[in-house]
Structure 1
Amino acid sequence: MLCSCSRWHIIHNLLSCFEFNREASTFLQSGKDRVGSTYKKSVYKQYSDSTYTREIPKPAWLGFLGPIIRAEVGDTITVHLKNFANRPHTVHPHGVFYKKDSEGSLYPDVSSQDHKKDDAVPPGGNHTYTWTVPEDHSPVADDPTCLTWVYHSHTDAPKDIASGLIGPLLTCKEALTGTSQRRHDVDLDFFLMFSVIDENLSWHLDENIALFCTDPESVDKEDEEFQVSNRMHGGSINGYVYGNLPEMTMCAGDHVAWHLFGMGSETDVHTAFFHGQTLTIRGHRSDVASLFPATFVTADMIPSSTGRWLLSCQVNNHLQGKAQSGICPKTPESSMNGTVRKYYIAAKEVQWNYGPSGLDQSTGKSLQEPGSSSEQFFKHSARRIGGTYWKAKYVEYTDSTFRVEKQRSEEETHLGILGPVIKAEVGDTVLVTFANKASWPFSIQPHGVLYGKKWEGTLYHDGFVAPERRWCLSWNGASVEPLHNFTYHWTVPQHVGPTANDPPCLTWMYSSAINPIQDTSSGLVGPLVICRPGTLNTSNKQKGIDKEFYLLFSVFDENLSWYLPANIKYYLRKEEAFVTKDESFKESNRMHGTFEIYCQTSNHYQSGMKARYSVSKCGKGAPAPDPQYEEVRTHYIMAQEVEWDYSPDRSWELEHHNISGQESYGNQFLSNENGLLGSKYKKAIYREYTDGTFRIPKNRTIDEEHLGILGPFIWAEVGDVLNIVFKNNATQAYSIHAHGVLERNDGQVEAAKPGDIVTYRWDVPERSGPGPNDFVCVSWVYYSMVDPVKDMYSGLIGPLKVCRKGALGSDGKRKGINREFALLFLVFDENQSWYLEENVKTYAHGNQSKINLQDEEFVESNKMHAINGKLYANLPGLTMHQGDRVNWYLLGMGQEIDVHTVHFHAETFTYRVRISC
């Protein structure tokens, strides 16, 4: 394998049915201070032998990804790396076993010099990496036959990957690949990386400015607009955006394996949507794959609908790539011998009130309460629209005349803005007659059913329209003009229905997709349910189910709605230009919504994504008898205020970057100079005591040292009662609320005022414990609920595990396990701590009067990217012995930036997917 440099070119928009748009030009057009679509990159290439003279070609659709490395259980992989690039690089793999001399990752690890040669192969140098695929690193029985992994350079992983040094790696069960390195169990396999590639991080940024900007001297690398232009927000697929990915061709009936992975930062949340087809992922039916940085998905597909189909990321600000399902001899379609289900649905314009009661139902206060988190969304003023907007909504009618609306039942009122529920069973045909009563062209595009190109409901160049045509044709239902009708024809063959591992019914959705971003932001979305045969009764309800609820959690961004100009003109009596450059106006139009339950993402919770639900007896016979609880386990826990140091030792950080403190990236978080606070903050933490006198703290053992800022590790078995005696020794009111247990508090978590002692009772019924497909223990979390956002960022959070009966020893440790670790991955936002002002007074070193709490640099410096409250390898206690059986309880909290994917170097682990609450 060779590491070399080359130019990478991304051409124009091949998907849009409209003229090249302004957003695409942001990333793709060059200029005096814009790089454009062509960048110098470093890439991996494969050669036939050590002379590095004959390159082995790879499929065009791999883009700048390196060659595919395939292996099966028992194999040894030998990679000879020759570095022809202009700086040190390596090859670091995921999913295989290696020793320290083949890790390919540069960081302080106290290794010998012989074991450091793999850490940075210099320009012109070479190194041989040896990896193996032992049984404990191979696919387990419930895994697909092959697992998707990657390899990449790891001298500075973010910069190396942004520069282009990454490729796919596949590990398979035994006897699935031969000497040709081709799989025997599938007809085709494709490897796709979804990533917002940030060229600002590339080692070649300065070279790219010099090569491709027409006036390099005019470039300000810190300019925000310049940086945005270098982030390929198309959500590039293998390094291509806007439909430039070379086509992937397959035949109807082929067995196709898709190996999908995401890389990047918190912006890299991708949902890969395969139009017109369905997939099986981990035994479950889907047509989308959710991808996060360093997550790897293996999906199986048997395409059945022929034609050119779109492959896209459904995240609003990521755009599209494309795939082709080739025009090959079509396999016979399954006969549809079920029910023909007809729906009559119109797009209708309505005035939608996001808070019709005028109250925040969780507090009882007005939504326009001064200073409340809801005020910015609901207060109507000269520069604020308030809580009511013109929107489009899917509305059901009784027949094709579209004269009589079908009234929603009391059970359906919770649907809110959602369209009517479309239901069908395997074998059914669904006919949806759509009338566009709105003032914009709209459509209906479904998930989870089979349809031909004529009924796809979305616009893009797919072979039906010549690329030189400015406008796409609307005969295929892709664009239904105002006052026009169109009937969509969908079918539900066996291969799109629930799998054996799925529940009886699968939840999907339908939406308008002429412009998927603006159409859905305008309100056009609805639920679609596909069930096994015989699941629905004559009333179209699921048998054996008393209540059904459909909940869409979405930040409706009214700034992206087709109706924004109309809303500004109608409610503000102003022209659009008057307010659209006002950032606070834009934020006021992002409606987080009022929904059943609440969203755990901190800023969504603060912005109103919460509501209540109630449970009534309803006279349905005698209730089930109360569970019998046998063991009462009592914990004495105090909230106490401490000085917390996120990074007491900077030696690892500085050695890793091989620079001084002032030059380190970590300096923006750890320096206490120039108006920054540094690494120390006042915080509140949970700590355990020996008894109810709260005089003697319970000292942590060596095994508990890793918990860091976390509270005590609370544990229970099914059938236990947890008695939590809580003393608040802090200066704010706090509480303890837990997930995964039955709290005996009538829905309200009692707060303890400073100095108070409150006792909480948590029952652990059968449903709190592991399910049939879970491990012996499952992980939960507890935290203060007085203000769940401020309380958590102040430090009050801890781990909880619930295990099967008899799984734990008297010390709370799981039997048969050598070590257990609980890790919280959280960006502690000290700007939202109760103690921010105190911390400024204490740690600003006399400069507090000069500190602007809204200053962007100051705000960023207070966001601590921590594991259990420690940065830069300062967390102690993560020690185990070779051969130990180890349980990891991984916890995530926070807000949108808290997208964390955990990578264990040199090790793999097994996990199981379960349903949480």
Structure 2
Amino acid sequence: MRVLSIAVLAAFTAFAEASALSERQEMVSPMAATCLAEMDGMLPSIIPPGFNFSGNTRRYYMAAEIDTWDYAPTGLDNWLGVPLNESFRAYNQGYVASKTNLGTKFDKALFKAYTDASFTQYTEQPAYAGFQGPILRAEVNDMIEIVLVNKMPDFYVSLHSMGLFYLKSSEGSLYPNGGPIAQGDVIAPGGCAVYKWLVGPASVPDAGQNSKLFSYHSYISMYQDQDAGLSGPVIVYNQGMMEEVMGTNREFVVLYSDNQEWNSFLALQNVKKYLPGFKAENLTSEYPIPGSANKSYWYPQMINTPKTNIDSTVAANFFPMNGYVFANGPPFEMCLGDSAIWYLWNSGFDQHAVHWHGHNVVNNGRLTAVVPIAGGQMATTTMTAANPGKWQMICHFTDHLAGGMEAYYTVQTNCTLPPLGKK
């Protein structure tokens, strides 16, 4: 009977997984069918001066999805070494769950990448990457071609590049600019669009470096979109250097953000789902909109900017690194003597001061102990792992540090990681 039960359970589990996979594929494929034909490898009608197409088109199959996220999945304040509900810092920040506070668990809107046009299998992301969108990679003179499907049932999305060349049709920005609304300016629930970005001369790595960080984000209502989680990184390499750089360096992409969960367009959904005893209200109907002029422009932005009675006492303002507070994320790992590239970026409005205990880094050709990154800014820095141990990586603004903006990185003496190649 025990063997039969296990066999039945295994068969049921396999059936459930297959059904879920089939349902997900069936749900997505019709959405993307109209867009996949546009993934044709054809260059835009205008290219930047000095762009010499390499012939490489880097294709990405992406979706905007709702997923559950916990800023402190271990349940610990790893700075103090105590459970989160015993941490005075967590209490001060409003991170501890109660009858009137959501704590650290939320639904987030995140970019996900799939291996192919079937939209059935996610691509692999480094464990440390957290809730960042997929790491996109390309070389100078390549074209990046992305099909983005909106799998969110109620909200709009777009995709805007920070640093690469694009035409108006791939700007991913909805505003009355005197031209027609492009398909990629706003993607309604169930819709899709194709974006084409070129890595031209204006996007090359800095002198003396072979790689450089850029980013992307949704731009329907950027404030609410980014608090919800819709952003990700792009790494650009010099032509022909991607494999060598990746094979001879430890690469770490670190997002410093300030996520105001009360401001996310999912705030109302989160309260209703995780805090049903709290009387949350959608007050959007109180917006004083007297007419319908330019509705195609303002309506998606209004939907992504719902007015509620939720504030930071209910859904806190978090200061995470890659979506984790109080060193709750997987550590960044390297071995003694390794070369490391730290790709740093800031998706919020606060400035951050990135500091590593135990090591300095090279930034803009100079050794430094601190790298400042303003809102929207990206920085590419290098480090030689010369000091073994477990070290803190933090934001040196004291209020951000108190809010949990810290992580751990380790330099191993007896290396357990796959070895790097020789430069």
> Shared fold by TM > 0.5?
yes
- Contact 2:345–2:373 under 8 Å retained in 1: yes
Would you say 1:310 and 2:372 are equivalent positions? no
RMSD: 2.1
Q: 2:176 aligns with which of 98, 108, 120?
A: 108
CA shift, 1:324, in A, is 2.2
Query: What residue in structure 2 maps to residue 15 of structure 1?
Result: 79
One-letter code of the match for 1:23? R
Query: What residue in structure 1 maps to residue 380 of structure 2?
Result: 298
Would you say 1:93 and 2:177 are equivalent positions? no
One-letter code of the match for 1:129? Y
One-letter code of the match for 1:226? T
Question: Kindly tell me: are residues 186 and 106 of structure 1, through their superposed partners in 2, closer, same or farther at Cα, counting changes over 3 Å?
Answer: farther
CA shift, 1:46, in A, is 0.9
Distance (Å, rounded) in 2 between the aligned partners of 1:224 and 1:100:
36
Query: What residue in structure 2 maps to residue 283 of structure 1?
Result: 365
Question: Kindly tell me: are residues 33 and 150 of structure 1, through their superposed partners in 2, closer, same or farther at Cα, counting changes over 3 Å?
Answer: same
- Contact 1:27–1:37 under 8 Å retained in 2: no
Paired residues for 1:141-156 under 5 Å: 142=207, 144-156=209-221
Distance (Å, rounded) in 2 between the aligned partners of 1:261 and 1:215:
37
CA shift, 1:195, in A, is 1.3
- Residue 333 of structure 2 aligns to a residue whose secondary structure is coil
One-letter code of the match for 1:61? Y
- Residue 259 of structure 2 aligns to a residue whose secondary structure is coil
Query: What residue in structure 2 maps to residue 874 of structure 1?
Result: none
**Which is greater in Rg?**
1
CA shift, 1:143, in A, is 5.8
CA shift, 1:252, in A, is 1.1
- Contact 2:262–2:312 under 8 Å retained in 1: no
- Contact 1:245–1:321 under 8 Å retained in 2: no
1:396-425 deviation per Cα after TM superposition (whole angstroms, max 9, x unaligned): xxxxxxxxxxxxxxxxxxxxxxxxxxxxxx
- Contact 1:70–1:171 under 8 Å retained in 2: yes
CA shift, 1:185, in A, is 6.7
CA shift, 1:183, in A, is 2.8
- Contact 1:241–1:321 under 8 Å retained in 2: yes
One-letter code of the match for 1:88? Y
Would you say 1:246 and 2:310 are equivalent positions? no
Would you say 1:226 and 2:288 are equivalent positions? no
- Residue 214 of structure 2 aligns to a residue whose secondary structure is strand
Distance (Å, rounded) in 1 between the aligned partners of 2:396 and 2:214:
23
Distance (Å, rounded) in 1 between the aligned partners of 2:336 and 2:88:
37
Would you say 1:206 and 2:268 are equivalent positions? yes
Paired residues for 1:112-127 under 5 Å: 112-113=180-181, 116-127=182-193
Question: Kindly tell me: are residues 106 and 218 of structure 1, through their superposed partners in 2, closer, same or farther at Cα, counting changes over 3 Å?
Answer: closer
Question: Kindly tell me: are residues 317 and 222 of structure 1, through their superposed partners in 2, closer, same or farther at Cα, counting changes over 3 Å?
Answer: farther
Query: What residue in structure 1 maps to residue 198 of structure 2?
Result: 132
Distance (Å, rounded) in 2 between the aligned partners of 1:272 and 1:323:
13
Would you say 1:33 and 2:105 are equivalent positions? no
One-letter code of the match for 1:198? Q
Distance (Å, rounded) in 1 between the aligned partners of 2:334 and 2:187:
40
Query: What residue in structure 2 maps to residue 508 of structure 1?
Result: none
Q: 1:43 aligns with which of 105, 110, 116?
A: 110
One-letter code of the match for 1:288? V
CA shift, 1:328, in A, is 2.6
Paired residues for 1:595-674 under 5 Å: none
Distance (Å, rounded) in 2 between the aligned partners of 1:169 and 1:27:
33
Structure 2, unaligned stretches of length 5 or more?
1-61, 283-307, 416-423
CA shift, 1:300, in A, is 0.1
Q: 2:351 aligns with which of 246, 266, 269?
A: 269
One-letter code of the match for 1:311? M
CA shift, 1:3, in A, is 1.0
One-letter code of the match for 1:231? N
Q: 2:223 aligns with which of 127, 147, 158?
A: 158
One-letter code of the match for 1:189? E
Question: Kindly tell me: are residues 155 and 259 of structure 1, through their superposed partners in 2, closer, same or farther at Cα, counting changes over 3 Å?
Answer: same
Identity value in percent: 26
- Contact 1:30–1:212 under 8 Å retained in 2: no
Would you say 1:176 and 2:244 are equivalent positions? no
1:16-55 deviation per Cα after TM superposition (whole angstroms, max 9, x unaligned): 1467322313432222221110010111111111110011
Question: Kindly tell me: are residues 163 and 245 of structure 1, through their superposed partners in 2, closer, same or farther at Cα, counting changes over 3 Å?
Answer: same
Question: Kindly tell me: are residues 274 and 176 of structure 1, through their superposed partners in 2, closer, same or farther at Cα, counting changes over 3 Å?
Answer: same
- Residue 269 of structure 2 aligns to a residue whose secondary structure is helix
Query: What residue in structure 2 maps to residue 325 of structure 1?
Result: 410
Question: Kindly tell me: are residues 28 and 112 of structure 1, through their superposed partners in 2, closer, same or farther at Cα, counting changes over 3 Å?
Answer: same
Distance (Å, rounded) in 1 between the aligned partners of 2:309 and 2:388:
47
CA shift, 1:247, in A, is 1.0
Distance (Å, rounded) in 2 between the aligned partners of 1:218 and 1:73:
49
- Normalised TM-score (structure 2): 0.71
- Residue 262 of structure 2 aligns to a residue whose secondary structure is helix
Distance (Å, rounded) in 2 between the aligned partners of 1:46 and 1:95:
20
One-letter code of the match for 1:50? A
Distance (Å, rounded) in 2 between the aligned partners of 1:176 and 1:218:
52
Structure 1, unaligned stretches of length 5 or more?
331-917
- Residue 169 of structure 1 aligns to a residue whose secondary structure is strand
- Residue 97 of structure 2 aligns to a residue whose secondary structure is coil
One-letter code of the match for 1:138? V
CA shift, 1:256, in A, is 0.3
Paired residues for 1:453-468 under 5 Å: none
Distance (Å, rounded) in 2 between the aligned partners of 1:171 and 1:218:
44
CA shift, 1:193, in A, is 0.8
Question: Kindly tell me: are residues 79 and 143 of structure 1, through their superposed partners in 2, closer, same or farther at Cα, counting changes over 3 Å?
Answer: farther
- Contact 2:262–2:311 under 8 Å retained in 1: no
Distance (Å, rounded) in 2 between the aligned partners of 1:218 and 1:294:
31
- Contact 2:254–2:343 under 8 Å retained in 1: yes
Distance (Å, rounded) in 2 between the aligned partners of 1:128 and 1:223:
35
Distance (Å, rounded) in 2 between the aligned partners of 1:326 and 1:285:
19
